[in-house]
Chains A and B, each alone.
Chain A
Amino acid sequence: MTKAEIIDAVYEKVGGFSKKEAAEIVEAVFDVMKEVLADGAKIKISGFGNFVVREKQERVGRNPQTGEPIPISARRVLTFKPSQVLKGILNPHKERLKRERLEGDDDSEEE
């Protein structure tokens, strides 16, 4: 999926925008997120996940080819932690097992 397909989804599902407007608004969504993360703040999207900027200390790495130690400078990196909801969507089978365990041997299937 590309940004163009996300724009299409917004254009079709939300509606009321021209293609160009849909493109501008989707662009704004990612621009705002980029700016916030560049500031070092985190973004929490409930149901999807958290984007967190982490401060990494300086450390000694190694050139994997030569084994030579090389310093890796302190840096900020962006990490994404998927929400439990998103993980559950990707693992429906696991979710069902969990539910069954919680509900004991209740056989009622509600999909």
Chain B
Amino acid sequence: MTKSELIDAVAQRTRITKSRAEQVVNCVFEAMTTALEGDQGIEIRGFGSFTVRHYKAYNGRNPRTGKPVPVPPKRLPFFKVGKELKELVNAPLVARQKAKEEAAAKAKAAAAAPKAEADEPGSTA
């Protein structure tokens, strides 16, 4: 999803015009950028938080030539995903994994049962 698609989705959901939604979305990211610029963290409950990390100068290397290059001190924004979103993002996988484990348990139970049918174990994976 790009920013313009996000704008479309917000416009549709909140029934405001696209141009208004565009102003809002731009304002949101501008406000966040300004906060980070001012070394201020951002906390969006349920989504995540942004902090500014300070890195000291160090000597890096040009990976191609192996020549040492001085890297000046820098500031980088760092995002930490919130608990709710972290679980949301991972949920489909957790559900899939659970289904797989249940299927495996079932297959095992079936194999252990007397007079088990001889359909090849593992072919359903």
Contact = CB atoms under 8 A, between A and B. Distances in A.
A and B assemble together: yes
A1 B40 contact: yes
Contact of A44 (B3, B44, B46): B3
Interface string A78-90: 1110100011011
A99 interface: no
Given A37-B85, A82-B77, 5 more contacts: A2-B43, A9-B28, A29-B28, A80-B78, A90-B52
Contacts of B40: 1
B20 A14 contact: yes
Contacts of B10: 25, 28-29, 32
Interface string B48-63: 1010100000000000
B108 interface: no
A32 B6 contact: yes
A13 interface: yes
Interface in A28-70: 28-34, 36-38, 40-49, 51, 53, 55
B124 interface: no
Contacts of B97: 73-74
A3 B74 contact: no
Contacts, number: 152
B52 A76 contact: no
A79 B24 CA distance: 24
Nearest to A43: B1
A108 B62 CA distance: 30
B14 to A, nearest CB: 5
7 contacts: A1-B43, A6-B28, A14-B24, A24-B14, A25-B16, A26-B24, A74-B97
B38 to A, nearest CB: 9
Interface in A86-111: 86-87, 89-91, 93-94, 97
B4 to A, nearest CB: 9
